Amino acid sequence: MTEPYRTGLAPCPNCGRELRIDAERLRCDGCGGTMLGYPEVRESLGIPREGRLVWVDGKLGRRKCPRCTAHMLVTCIRLTSTKVLSDLTLDRCETDGVWFDRNELSKLIAAPRS
């Protein structure tokens, strides 16, 4: 039998494959998903420590956090006081960070910030 959790992580919440640890990120080679901690999310978006990063949380979703296996919150990110990126629905663990499906992070980085 193969050991399914060699990394000590739960499988990809999207496709169920084993995740790969890449510095502070988790990556899935199967579907292209990635999980970032909150400091990394800020860094990727160019938001300073004191900058505005507001999560607009919905319900707990079906997906589980690969680090702690708690169900993740379905969430939207609000980058300014007025703009909610409601077209981009993400999954986040309050403790561990945010799961981005393939292309979601690049869409967020490219989103208008005014």
Radius of gyration of the chain (CA): 14
Applying the rule CB under 5 A, the residues between 68 and 87 that interact with Zn ion are 68
Sole binder of Zn ion in the list 96, 100, 105, 108 (CB under 5 A): 96
Distant-in-sequence, close-in-space partners of 27: CB < 8 Å, separation ≥ 6:
19, 20, 21, 33, 34
Q: How many residues bind Zn ion (CB under 5 A)?
A: 14
Interface map 24-53 toward Zn ion (x if CB under 5 A): ----x-xx-x--------------------
Can you give the binding site for Zn ion, defined by CB under 5 A? 12, 14-15, 17, 28, 30-31, 33, 65, 67-68, 93, 95-96
